[in-house]
Structure 1
Amino acid sequence: MNNGMKILTGFSLGLLSGVVAGLLYAPEKGEKTRKKLQKNVDKSYQDSMKKIDELKASLSKEMESVSAKGKETYENLKSSVNYKN
C-alpha cells in the first residue's frame, strides 16, 4: 500500500470515528445534529476531493518521470547497439 492510500485510509477511518462519536454523545436535538452532521460531511467530502486531486497530480507527475526515464533508457540501449530504424 502506497503512502497516499495509507493517508486516505487513515483520514477515512478518523472521519468515521468522529461521526460515530459525535452521534453517540450529541446533547442537541436531532434536527440540529443532522445540520451539523451534514455540514461536517460536506467539509469532509471537500477535503477528501482535494486530497484525491493532490494524489492524482502526484501520480501523474510520477508517471511522467517514469516515462521519461524509460524513453531515456530506450534511447541509450538503441545507441549502444547501433540500431538503425
Structure 2
Amino acid sequence: MLLGLVSGAVAGAVVGLLYAPKKGEDTRRAITKKGDDYIKGANKSIHDLSDSIGHKVDALKARTKATVSSSKSEEKINKAKAEMHDMAS
C-alpha cells in the first residue's frame, strides 16, 4: 500500500512537472531528481522490510529452540533471544 501511495505521488509530480511552464532541460532535471528520490525511498522501504522479516525469522528460530531445548537455562536463553528480536522488529 505504501508503495502504491508513493508511486501515485511520484506520478502526480511528474505530470505536474510536464505541464509546468519550464524549459525542457529544467523539467528533465526535476524528473530525474524525483525519480532518484523515489528509488532511494523504495530501497529504504525494502531494506526496512527485509530487516523486519529477518528479525521475525530469528525470533521464530529462538522460540523453536526454546521449545525443544534440553535444559531450563537453554530454554530461558532462547526465549530472551526471541524477545530481543521481537523488540528489534
Which residue of 1 is the match for residue 5 of structure 2? 10
Using CA pairs under 8 Å that are at least 6 residues apart, name the structure with larger relative contact order, 1 or 2. Answer: 1
Partner of 1:29: 23
Match of 1:39 among 33, 39, 52: 33
CA-based RMSD of the aligned residues comes to 2.1
- Which AA in structure 1 matches 2:32? Q
Which residue does the alignment assign to 1:19? 14
Report the count of equivalent residues: 71
Greater helix content: 2
1:8-28 Cα offsets, whole Å, 9 max, x none, are 2322222222222322x3110
What runs of 5+ residues in structure 1 fail to find an aligned partner?
A: 1-5, 80-85
Q: Distance in 2 between matches of 1:39 and 1:30?
A: 14
Aligned: 1:50 with 2:20: no
- Can you give the 5+ residue segments of structure 2 that lack an aligned partner in the other structure? 72-89
**Matched letter for residue 14 of structure 1:** A
Residue 61 (1) aligns with residue 27 (2)? no
Q: Please list the CA deviations of residues 32-84 of structure 1 after superposition, one character each: whole Å capped at 9, or x if unmatched.
A: 100111111112211221221111111111111122222323x16x89xxxxx
TM-score, normalised with respect to structure 1: 0.66
